[in-house]
């Protein structure tokens, strides 16, 4: 996709540098020559198979930006904002406000103190609350999609809505389970069951653990491995969960007993993670948050609102 270069002028923007690339396109730092503001280009791939998700992302960005302008009296941003979109050399470009480094980049450089972690998690919760208010499920909450607002504070915003669902849209596909990065994937997505806003909370719980203990909770490449780790971490699911889908039913016999043996290395590793959360987490708030989020059944999971209350007590 090498057709935009540093110092090139595109519309009224000067290209500064390439920031990164992903499945859906490339990110560039740009300067608005009319306002002197620093923004970013998200240059979308010119590929028919991505067209629906690209249009979906743009519509969601426009919706949340308009809602932000109308309803956010405090003008504190918790989600990345839309500025413009246009076509250049047959590629759709989204212009957004530029923020700072993502959470993954930063926590790999330094350890955050518990009070800082709480501030970060609180901001993400506020972002999820704002998205829920607008009936949007993010669908890919992970450290790479959390940006620091600037280089000096610990404020963060949620970005990247390429996998998000607008529940008010006629085109939303709640049968699409090709969402959530596997390390942050909720059980209901794993089992192909109905889901709601609480899948984003599950991902948030994984981030809270990762920031506190500086290691991912469910690092894996396969869903079978993910399920094994969840079993070791959460214990066996309730019968209702086992019955809930063909996927879970195939993993248990008629007596609801697990039909395969889990690797002892996984058992040992997840015991350490479980002990970390139950015993070694010294932040009462973060511990309550994680214990309230990590449940097989989304109906037993804390709501966004109840999680927020933990930070206000």
Distance CA 81, CA 58 (A): 11
pLDDT digits (tens, 9 = 90+) for 178-237: 899 999 999 999 999 999 999 999 999 999 999 999 999 999 999 989 999 999 999 999
With bands split at pLDDT 50, 70 and 90, how would you rate the model's confidence at 73? low
Instruction: Identify whether residues 288 and 215 lie together within a single domain.
Output: yes
Question: What count of other Cβ atoms lies within 10 Å of the Cβ of residue 132?
Answer: 19
Residues 108 and 140 in one domain: yes
What residues contact 244, with CB distance under 8 A and at least 6 apart? 191, 193
Length of the chain as a residue count:
313
Query: DSSP letters of 147-210?
Result: EESSSSS--EEE---TT-EETTSTT--TT----S-GGG--HHHHTT----THHHHHHHHHHHHH
Give 115-161 pLDDT, tens digit per residue. Answer: 999 999 999 999 999 999 999 999 999 999 999 999 888 999 999 99
Q: What is the pLDDT of residues 19-52, one digit of tens each?
A: 888 777 889 999 999 999 999 999 998 878 778 8
Q: Where is the domain boundary, 49, 70, 97?
A: 97
Final residue before a domain boundary, out of 73, 97, 121: 97
Asked if residue 1 has pLDDT above 90, the reply is no
Same-domain check for residues 92 and 174: no
What letter does residue 302 receive in the DSSP assignment? P
Tell whether 261 is covered by a domain. yes
Residues 164 and 89 placed together within one structural domain of the fold? no
Assess if residue 220 is contained within a domain. yes
Q: Which of 225, 227, 247 is nearest to 236 (CA)?
A: 227
Q: Residue 74 has what pLDDT?
A: 61
Mean pLDDT along residues 152-174: 87
What SS3 state is found at 25?
Answer: strand
Q: What CATH number does the domain containing 68 carry?
A: 3.30.200.20
76 and 216 share a domain? no
**Residue 238 reports pLDDT greater than 80:** yes
Q: State yes or no: pLDDT of 274 exceeds 70.
A: yes
- Measured CA to CA, the distance from residue 29 to residue 26 in angstroms comes to 10
273: in domain? yes
> Is residue 81 located within the same domain as residue 145?
no
Same-domain pairing of 50 and 113: no
* 275 shares a domain with 206: yes
Query: Looking at the domain assignment, is residue 175 inside a domain?
Result: yes
pLDDT at 110 over 80: no
CATH of the domain at 269: 1.10.510.10
Residues 206 and 262 in one domain: yes
pLDDT at 7 over 90: no
Q: Is residue 3 part of a domain?
A: no
Q: Which residues contact 224 (CB under 8 A, 6 or more apart)?
A: none
Residue 2 reports pLDDT greater than 70: no
Whether this model's pTM surpasses 0.85: yes
Do 90 and 108 share a domain, yes or no?
no
Total number of domains in the chain: 2
Q: Examine the domain organization and report whether 84 and 115 are in the same domain.
A: no
Q: 69, 97, 125 — which closes off a domain?
A: 97
Share of the chain above pLDDT 70, in %: 97
DSSP element (H, E) containing 288: helix 284-293
Q: Is residue 1 part of a domain?
A: no
Supply the Cα-derived Rg of the chain in whole angstroms: 20
pLDDT attached to residue 6: 84
Cα–Cα distance list, 307 to 29, 116, 201, 205, 223 (Å)? 35, 17, 9, 10, 27
Same structural domain for residues 48 and 191?
no
Asked, for residue 2, whether it belongs to a domain, the answer is no
When the pLDDT of each residue in the chain is averaged and rounded to a whole number, the result is: 91
- Per-residue pLDDT, 254: 86
Q: Print the domain residue range for 33.
A: 9-97
User: Is residue 141 a part of any domain in this protein?
Assistant: yes
């Amino acid at each position: 996709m090498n057709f935009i270069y540093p110092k090139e002028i595109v519309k009224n923007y000067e290209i500064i540098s390439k920031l990164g690339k992903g499945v859906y396109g490339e990110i560039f730092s740009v300067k608005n020559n009319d306002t002197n503001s620093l923004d970013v280009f998200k240059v979308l791939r010119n590929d028919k198979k991505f067209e629906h998700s690209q249009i979906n992302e743009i519509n969601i960005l426009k919706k949340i930006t308009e809602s932000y302008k109308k309803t956010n009296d405090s003008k504190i941003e918790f989600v990345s904002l839309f500025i413009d979109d246009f076509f250049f050399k047959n590629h759709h470009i989204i212009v957004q406000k530029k923020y700072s480094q993502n959470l993954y980049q930063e926590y790999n450089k330094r350890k955050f103190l518990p009070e800082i972690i709480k501030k970060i998690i609180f901001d993400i919760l506020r972002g999820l609350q704002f998205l829920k208010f607008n009936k949007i499920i993010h669908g890919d909450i992970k450290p790479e999609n959390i940006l620091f607002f600037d280089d000096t504070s610990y404020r963060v915003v949620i970005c990247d809505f390429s996998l998000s669902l607008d529940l008010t849209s006629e085109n939303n596909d709640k049968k699409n389970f090709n969402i959530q990065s596997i390390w942050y994937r909720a059980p209901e997505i794993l089992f192909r069951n109905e889901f709601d806003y609480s899948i984003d909370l599950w991902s948030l719980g994984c981030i809270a653990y990762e920031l506190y203990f500086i290691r991912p909770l469910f690092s894996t490449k396969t869903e079978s491995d993910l399920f094994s780790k969840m079993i070791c971490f959460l214990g066996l699911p309730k019968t209702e969960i086992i019955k809930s889908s063909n996927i879970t039913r195939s993993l248990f016999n008629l007596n609801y007993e697990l039909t395969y043996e889990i690797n002892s290395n996984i058992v040992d590793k997840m015991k350490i993670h479980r002990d970390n959360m139950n015993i070694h987490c010294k932040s009462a708030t973060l511990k309550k948050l994680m214990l309230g989020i990590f449940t097989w059944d989304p109906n037993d999971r804390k709501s966004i609102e109840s999680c927020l209350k933990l930070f206000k007590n």
